[in-house]
A and B are shown apart, each in its own frame.
Chain A
Amino acid sequence: MMSLIIGLGVILVLVILYMIFRVANLVTIAKGEKNDRTDSSNSLNAALFIVFMVVSLGVFFWYSFEYFEDYTLPIASIHGAWTDTLFWITMAVTVIAFSIISIVMFVFIYQYRYKPERRAKFYPDNHYLELAWTIIPAIVLAVLIFTGLRAWNDITAPASEEAEVIEIIGQQFAWVTRYPGVKDNTLGGHNYKLIDAVNEFGLDLRDKNTFDDFKSLELHIPKGKEVLLKIRAKDVLHSVFLPHFRVKMDAVPGMTTQFKFVATKTTQEMRDELGNQNFNYELACTEICGRGHFSMRMPVVVDEPEAYEAWKKGQEAWLKQNPDYLKQVPEALREAAMIKSGMQKDPGAGVAEVKN
Chain B
Amino acid sequence: MATTDIHIHHDVHHHDDHGHDEHHHEGNFWTTYVFSQDHKVIAKQFLITGIFWALFGGILSVIFRLQLGFPEANLAWLKPVLGQWITPENKLDPEFYLALVTMHGTIMVFFVLTAGLSGTFSNFLIPLQIGARDMASGFLNMLSYWFFFLSSVVMLTSFFLETGPAAGGWTVYPPLSALPQAIKGSGTGMTMWLVAMALFIVSSLLGGINYITTVINMRTNGMSFTRLPLTIWAFFFTAIIGVLSFPVLFAAALLLIFDRSFGTSFYLSDIFIGGEALPHTGGSPILFQHLFWFLGHPEVYIVLLPALGISSEIIATNSRKPIFGYKAMIGSMLFIAILSFIVWAHHMFVTGMNPFLGSIFMLLTLIIAVPSAVKIFNYVTTLWKGNIRFTPGMLFSIGLVSFFLTGGITGIFLGNSAIDIQLHDTYFVVAHFHLVMGSASFFGMLAGIYHWFPKMFGRMMNDKLGYIHFWLTFVGVYLVFFPMHYIGIAGFPRRYYTWTNFETFSGFADLNMLVSVAAIVTLSAQFIFLFNFFYSMFRGRVASANPWNSTTLEWTTPRNPGHGNWPGEIPSVYRWPYDYSKPGAKDDFIPQTIPYSETPESNLPHENELIKLESSNGHGAIIVEGKH
Contacts and interface: CB of A to CB of B under 8 A. Distances in A.
B389 A114 contact: yes
A268 to B, nearest CB: 16
A236 B175 contact: yes
Interface in A110-133: 112-115, 118-126, 129-130, 133
Nearest to B169: A288
Interface range on chain A (Cβ under 8 Å from partner): 35 or more
Q: Which of B94, B351, B352 is most buried by chain A, counting CB atoms within 10 A of its CB?
A: B352
A38 B521 CA distance: 29
Contact of A152 (B73, B328, B358, B468): B358
Contacts of A20: 464, 468
B325 interface: yes
Contact of B73 (A2, A70, A294): A2
A195 B73 contact: no
A19 interface: no
B462 A25 contact: yes
Interface in A266-308: 278-280, 282, 284-295, 297
A124 B320 CA distance: 12
Interface residues on B, range: 35 or more
B398 A49 contact: yes
Interface stretch (B152-160, B193-201, B250-258, B272-280): B272-280
A35 B373 CA distance: 37
Given A70-B507, A121-B321, A248-B421, A286 B493 contact: yes
B527 interface: yes
B362 A145 contact: yes
Contacts of B74: 1-3
Nearest to B532: A21
A71 B73 contact: no
A123 B324 contact: yes
B293 to A, nearest CB: 14
B486 A108 contact: no
Interface stretch (B128-136, B404-412, B558-566): B404-412
A3 B352 contact: no
A109 B398 contact: yes
Given A45-B390, A98-B409, A255-B284, A172 B273 contact: yes
B389 A193 contact: no
A67 B462 contact: no
B150 interface: no
A120 B387 contact: yes
A20 B416 CA distance: 48
A237 B379 CA distance: 42
A115 B387 contact: yes
B243 interface: no
Given A112-B384, A123-B322, A294-B498, A144 B416 contact: yes
A108 B384 contact: yes
A10 interface: yes
Nearest to A105: B380
Contact of A234 (B176, B273, B386, B482): B273
B324 A125 contact: yes
Contacts of A155: 418, 421
A300 to B, nearest CB: 10
Contact of B173 (A25, A93, A125, A237): A237
A239 B221 CA distance: 58
Interface in B389-436: 389-390, 395, 398, 401-402, 405-406, 409-410, 412-413, 416-419, 421-422, 424-426
Contacts of A63: 486
B409 A120 contact: no
A42 B389 contact: yes
Contacts of A56: 478
A352 interface: no
A122 B350 contact: no
B95 interface: yes
A31 interface: no
Interface string B349-366: 011100100110011001
Contacts of A93: 412
A109 B388 contact: yes
Nearest to A84: B422
A45 B395 contact: yes
B581 A120 contact: yes
A125 B581 contact: no
Nearest to B544: A36
B486 A71 contact: yes
Contacts of B268: 253-254
A93 B410 CA distance: 11
A36 B547 contact: yes
B46 interface: no
B501 A294 contact: yes
Interface string B292-327: 000000000000000000000000000111111111
B589 to A, nearest CB: 10
B176 A236 contact: yes
A57 B487 CA distance: 18
Contact of A237 (B175, B471, B588): B175
A102 B398 CA distance: 11
Nearest to B265: A254
B467 interface: yes
B457 interface: no
B491 interface: yes
Given A87-B422, A152-B418, A254 B504 contact: no
B321 A294 contact: no
A216 interface: no
Contacts of B390: 38, 41-42, 45-46, 113-114
Nearest to B373: A137
Most buried by A among B176, B495, B541: B176
B227 interface: no
A134 B583 contact: no
B277 A101 contact: no
Contact of A71 (B168, B478, B482, B487): B487
A243 to B, nearest CB: 4
A217 interface: no
A249 interface: yes
A41 B390 CA distance: 8
A224 interface: no
B385 interface: yes
A327 interface: no
Contact of B326 (A25, A125, A293): A125
A90 interface: yes
B528 interface: yes
Contacts of B503: 278-280, 282
Contact of A192 (B272, B325, B580): B272
A48 B395 CA distance: 11
Contacts of A195: 272, 277
Contacts of B216: none
Interface in A27-79: 34, 36-38, 41-42, 45-46, 48-49, 52, 56, 60, 63-64, 67, 70-73
A149 interface: yes
A118 B389 CA distance: 12
B471 A282 contact: no
B578 interface: yes
Interface string B484-512: 00110111011111110111110110000
Contacts of A109: 383, 388, 398
A162 to B, nearest CB: 21
Contacts of A278: 503
Contacts of B95: 290-291
Given A72-B489, A145-B366, A237-B175, 9 more contacts: A10-B520, A90-B413, A108-B386, A134-B373, A138-B367, A250-B352, A284-B502, A294-B498, A297-B502
Instruction: Give 4 closest A-B pairs by Cβ, nearest first.
Output: A254-B269, A156-B355, A151-B418, A121-B385
26 contacts: A3-B77, A41-B463, A49-B398, A86-B416, A101-B380, A101-B405, A112-B387, A120-B581, A133-B374, A145-B366, A149-B418, A192-B277, A236-B271, A237-B173, A237-B175, A237-B351, A241-B491, A243-B422, A244-B504, A248-B425, A249-B350, A254-B270, A257-B352, A284-B504, A288-B168, A289-B182
